[in-house]
């Protein structure tokens, strides 16, 4: 039977508890969206995404990590991925090694900082460029990728709006979307990287021992808008499930628990 699930891959620790049968099921689903850092460590859980969502690449550390993801994909010769990136990166991607290094050398000769301007990307991949709304003002659910998407206290909110537009009338399963810990399933590997990957939220999550989206910030958490998100997903025919019974989305009764291969 052909699988129709949309899999959203988070970086929570629960993903390490997946059985081999569940991993096989996930890899047979036609759409598997890796959110943020997941793609760099896909081998650890033996799950190959079809899409990589990485939109908020503004800070230097976050841009460096995006290039690291590209480097992993190039090294592993991964093709046919769809990268969902911020529109501000539209003119900054380069596919040619020769052109990339020529421009780097030119900028070095001019004594300019080129680190944030150019990305060496994997071959034979596609790119979608989106934007999202301000998380606190005028935030509305969008019905087209041509307009800024909904965004509230975390990438998941925007990923779900994206899915509602691109893949209506299909079930959504959240895998490794826990919110109950500041740690990633690849935390040990992350700590060993030889570049700065931390951003301004890192010390906050370490202190609070929970995901930043679940920490009250300016009086808000991502959970405040989840009823709104679920209602809009219903309108597009998307039923959403969390495959982690201990996810805060489940324990707060915001999303139903569902097994990966139910």
What pLDDT, on a 0 to 100 scale, did the predictor assign at position 197? 82
Q: Look up the pTM and report it.
A: 0.90
Q: Identify the burial level of 116 via C-beta atoms within 10 angstroms of its C-beta, where 0-12 means exposed, 13-18 middle and 19 or more buried.
A: middle
What pLDDT, on a 0 to 100 scale, did the predictor assign at position 19? 97
Contact (CB, 8 A) for 39 and 77: no
CATH class of the domain whose range is 6-257? alpha beta
Domain positions in the chain are 6-257
- Residues of the chain with pLDDT below 70 are 1, 57, 91-117, 137-138
Contact (CB, 8 A) for 45 and 98: no
Q: How many CB atoms lie within 10 A of CB 208?
A: 13
- pLDDT tens, position by position, 185-214: 999 999 999 988 877 777 778 777 888 887
Contact (CB, 8 A) for 130 and 117: no
The torsion angles phi and psi of 175, rounded to 5 degrees, stand at -120, 120
């Amino acid at each position: 039977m052909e699988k129709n699930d949309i899999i959203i891959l988070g970086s929570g620790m629960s993903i390490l508890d997946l059985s081999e049968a569940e991993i096989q099921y996930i890899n047979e689903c036609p759409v598997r969206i890796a959110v943020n850092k997941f793609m760099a460590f896909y081998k650890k859980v033996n799950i190959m995404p079809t899409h990589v969502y990485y939109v908020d690449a503004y800070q230097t550390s976050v841009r460096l990590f995006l290039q690291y993801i590209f480097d992993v994909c190039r090294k592993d010769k991964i093709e046919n991925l769809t990268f969902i990136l911020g529109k501000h990166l539209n003119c900054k991607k380069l596919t040619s090694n020769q052109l990339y290094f020529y421009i780097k050398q030119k900028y070095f000769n001019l004594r300019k900082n080129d680190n944030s301007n150019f990305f060496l990307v994997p071959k034979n991949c596609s790119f979608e460029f989106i934007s999202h709304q301000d998380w606190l003002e005028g935030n509305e659910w969008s019905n087209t990728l041509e307009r800024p998407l909904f965004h509230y206290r975390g990438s998941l909110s925007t990923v779900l709006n994206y899915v509602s537009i691109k893949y209506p009338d299909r079930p959504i399963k959240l895998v490794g979307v826990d919110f109950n810990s500041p740690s990633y399933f690849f935390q040990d590997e992350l700590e060993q990287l030889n570049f700065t990957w931390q951003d301004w939220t890192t010390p906050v999550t370490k202190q609070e021992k929970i995901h930043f989206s679940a920490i009250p910030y300016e009086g808000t958490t991502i959970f405040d808008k989840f009823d709104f998100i679920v209602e809009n997903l219903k309108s597009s025919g998307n039923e959403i499930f969390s495959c982690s019974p201990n996810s805060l989305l489940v324990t707060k009764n915001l999303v139903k628990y569902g097994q990966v291969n139910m």
